[in-house]
Chain A
């Protein structure tokens, strides 16, 4: 990993328009803050290296290095990263009566992780109005309150950093792929600190094809409705192609083509749909709205899922064979588009003496992932 300082971070990420506001650089020092979905640099800092740069998922992310840190020989040329197994899942009887976004898998697993003492707290994402913000939960009953899809880039990691700075460890996090990437870099002790302790006890990743810029989305919706009345947002699986806004007075449907311009630039170079650096990754299961896709990646994740299934927190089934190709196809499509975009923008494997990169990985892996360059049917 090439690690630079906060000024480089500001130039390479914020000024290039790549910041997705994950909060990875926030609450480490007084210089970076998050406000209304955007990360702001309050003052310049001339440190030559810093955790802010080391954690950032849009600055010099070395995917091969991250793979080695997680025990893989190199970053795999596979659409969904390295994993042990993929299953269908939903919350079990222990969570009966809880309202969740789809299958309730994330709520069930994080509730169990807290209840069992695997983690001492969980950093989740809540909302104030339409603005997402980190929520730190220490009691299992608090998890369900954050159970809904946000669709806007969230500064969740500022909550993780704040908890770590307060001396907390064994922290669970529900993270989008970019946030999981930042956590993976965090767990690698990038600055080689002597007193380093892995702060994350569990990372549950969420599938993500893109997020929306919080401020742009609020401005967009403000022109169309009273945003104070919005209760929930959801994007049904294809071929729906709409964002459904659920309000006190009924539903509104907004074609995805209208909101795609609100996607932050950083999402367009993100190669990760399935949160590859998490212990467990969870997404919707197309065709079965009350179920999730659950990818088990690490031993930590496997042990939690096994206990959850055994003790009634989670129901699992074998993954429908027809769905796997579809899932991997979508993940492959996102990877291909992101790597093509990053390469076109000069942000992939840039020569160290000319330009700093956003992403680095073996050139042969890049070729294998991009393939013949044909555009996938799946779209952002």
Chain B
């Protein structure tokens, strides 16, 4: 990321975006981690000191955008980074900052996850650009990821508007060649000027008030009109193809790569035109009118919902008198799926159907080899917690306490690795799972249903990072409204799922500086909850504590289960115990336990040896946590403390 202008580098999409941020001279970057966006702040944090830059892991996406906006109001360039779900968290502030405008260039980067590869949804945030009226840019390759990000700050300052750059997993997490540009050396100073007139965008206070809303809103719409005019000549919008194509493909983002590959494989370069858009809102009207006039049939290729398609259809309807009636293909006619990621095969299939081309089959040799491999089958592997994961031990205690309590209790879940507790690795404990913070919010609601006959106990779970992000308001709500619930904070000392980013419970920040901690137990006690802290690896204490909490007929109990993630840098590869199975004691199938350790507990570090007819430890992946020794009813699993 250091200054090597003019050189080509093989970089990940998120690294290209980071380089674009550096080339734009951004001085403040804030984010909440979330796949596939997390690498951007991590890369920036590594060079922040040398680039005179401040980066932070904010407590959530809304705060991240507010931190970035503050820098913008003080005249600096700033960026806020998040994944698509975080856009919804930031949306309230986003509406207002989009309306009121900015000063230093302010860019919001949303890295999205079509197909939900690392998300509980595949919601997308492009409609926010239209709904809240700010420009939207979608890079189509790695060079554009860098170049468009850099340009987004120029655009933001030229318009006085926040600008959104949208990436997707296959761009953020894939790698490609990028030629680096210059890094700026000038360092503007920060100063928030508020002495001008109330509505002066450059010198007045940055305030949204009920009275002048329409004035400011009109100003915002004028910015959008200027943006549309600028987009007419943007180099990020390109057409490749014949002068009179049979079919015009319009696309954006990583989908342009799929389209180019599909056209090339099918040999359609002389029949199909490709209009790749980089500026997808507001639409460049003149440019579209010119290209829509090229032919009658239009295929729109984009992932998930028909955002571009329907906006193009609306424009085509308005322009029909000039460009003629068009036939659109895409999501709405079923040419392409409205869920999941796209790929060249799906685009080829759509092109083949529309152009009445025989679908291209696989090469025979390839097909035979693929079928032979497929016939052997891959080993079945289920989603599961890692060996030594504290969550497995935590949910062992939670599941067993609820089962022993025997009142059909359940867990109201939240977002993190522990969401997997809906599956066998967490003993199928989770029965609700929605947004960050929703676990306790839902439990707070369930906890008020007793007047209507509801008598099931509810345990809400959340991670430590999630606690700060969105659980605190729900906790206040549960306490204030006297809901009878138990909250279990699965504190594994970091934002583990996204790569151990810091959070307010840790004494370090994104820059590696020592910072004050905000302790979860102290916060909960201060709010009025009854709080206990346990080690989830101590199975009996955890289970008995939970049983006591479930017995408590009133109020909110909080159990903080504190044990560092098995993959954390300070723990990984360091075994606390050497584990072994005593074959003289383990009877596996002949034991009343019915292979309890491998059938129920299911740590990947445990296996079954069919020759010996006993359980066995996989020493390669066993993390040496020692918990399985406590779940074996016969005491056949031994642990020896490492010196």
Complex interface: chain B residues within 8 A of A33 (CB):
400, 403-404
The stretch from B28-36, B116-124, B589-597 touching chain A is B589-597
The answer to whether the Cβ of B584 comes within 8 Å of any Cβ in the partner chain is no
Closest 8 CB pairs of A and B: A29-B592, A35-B404, A40-B406, A30-B633, A42-B403, A40-B404, A38-B406, A43-B600
Contact flags (1/0) for B393-407 with A, using CB distance below 8 Å?
Answer: 000000110011110
Complex interface: chain A residues within 8 A of B633 (CB):
29-30
Complex interface: chain A residues within 8 A of B631 (CB):
30
Complex interface: chain A residues within 8 A of B406 (CB):
35, 38, 40
Contact check, A51 vs B592: say whether CB atoms are below 8 A apart.
yes
CB distance from A338 to the nearest CB of B (A): 25
Complex interface: chain B residues within 8 A of A42 (CB):
399-400, 403-404
Complex interface: chain A residues within 8 A of B600 (CB):
30, 43
**A29-B633, A30-B631, A35-B547 in contact; A46/B405 too (CB < 8 A)?**
no
Instruction: List the A residue with the shortest CB-CB distance to B553.
Output: A222
Contact flags (1/0) for A245-260 with B, using CB distance below 8 Å?
Answer: 0000000000000000
Of the A-B pairs whose beta carbons lie under 8 Å apart in the complex, a sample of 27, sorted by A's number, is: A28-B592, A29-B591, A29-B592, A29-B596, A29-B633, A30-B593, A30-B596, A30-B600, A31-B594, A33-B400, A33-B403, A35-B404, A35-B405, A35-B406, A38-B406, A40-B403, A40-B405, A40-B406, A42-B399, A42-B400, A42-B404, A43-B403, A43-B427, A43-B600, A46-B594, A50-B592, A51-B592
Contact check, B403 vs A41: say whether CB atoms are below 8 A apart.
yes
The answer to whether the Cβ of A47 comes within 8 Å of any Cβ in the partner chain is yes
Instruction: List the B residue with the shortest CB-CB distance to A27.
Output: B633
Q: How large is the interface on B (under 10, 10 to 19, 20 to 34, 35 or more residues)?
A: 10 to 19
Contact check, A29 vs B404: say whether CB atoms are below 8 A apart.
no
Q: Which secondary structure characterizes the binding site on chain A?
A: loop
Q: What's the Cα separation between A41 and B427 when bound, in Å? A: 13
Instruction: List the B residue with the shortest CB-CB distance to A30.
Output: B633
The interface of chain B, by Cβ under 8 A from chain A, is: 399-400, 403-406, 427, 547, 591-594, 596, 600, 631, 633
Q: Which secondary structure characterizes the binding site on chain B?
A: helix
Listed residue (B399, B404, B592, B593) with the most chain A CB atoms within 10 angstroms of its CB: B592
Contact check, B547 vs A29: say whether CB atoms are below 8 A apart.
no
A16-52 interface (Cβ within 8 A of B)? 28-31, 33, 35-36, 38, 40-43, 45-47, 50-51
Q: What's the Cα separation between A105 and B374 when bound, in Å? A: 74
Contact flags (1/0) for A36-71 with B, using CB distance below 8 Å?
Answer: 101011110111001100000000000000000000
Q: What's the Cα separation between A51 and B633 when bound, in Å? A: 16
Complex interface: chain B residues within 8 A of A47 (CB):
594
Complex interface: chain B residues within 8 A of A45 (CB):
594
**A42-B399, A42-B400 in contact; A29/B594 too (CB < 8 A)?**
yes
Complex interface: chain A residues within 8 A of B399 (CB):
42
Complex interface: chain B residues within 8 A of A29 (CB):
591-594, 596, 633
Q: What's the Cα separation between A45 and B593 when bound, in Å? A: 8
CB distance from A5 to the nearest CB of B (A): 9
Complex interface: chain A residues within 8 A of B596 (CB):
29-30, 43
Complex interface: chain A residues within 8 A of B594 (CB):
29, 31, 45-47
Complex interface: chain A residues within 8 A of B404 (CB):
33, 35, 40, 42
Complex interface: chain A residues within 8 A of B547 (CB):
35
CB distance from B592 to the nearest CB of A (A): 4
Instruction: List the B residue with the shortest CB-CB distance to A29.
Output: B592
